[in-house]
Amino acid sequence: MDEYQIKVNQVEEFQMTNSIVDLQQIFKRAHSTVIQGGTVVLLRDNADGSSYTVDEISNEDELKRYKDSVFQYLDV
């Protein structure tokens, strides 16, 4: 089964810079992964270079909820 990793830190950076196109690309790839039966893993990087899993998304409804929360305060 395929896995697509999303770095939560990067998503937050794109939110702060209002990088709608970059966020849409991330979610397009994530959607494709979920549709094909894969899992989207949300990772957070630590300052020491390590990372940990925040959440795993395996269906369209979960992905839509996460995407909606990311885009909630952006000018889309």
Indicate the SS3 state at residue 68. helix
For the chain, give the number of residues: 76
In terms of Cα–Cα distance, which of 7, 66, 55 is closest to 31? 66
- Predicted confidence band of residue 73 (pLDDT cuts 50, 70, 90): confident
Give the Cα separation of 16 and 30 in Å (integer): 21
Q: Tell me, what's the pLDDT at 48? A: 96
Per the prediction, the chain carries an average pLDDT of: 96
**pLDDT tens-digit profile of 22-40?**
999 999 999 999 999 999 9
Q: How far is CA 56 from the centre of its chain?
A: 10
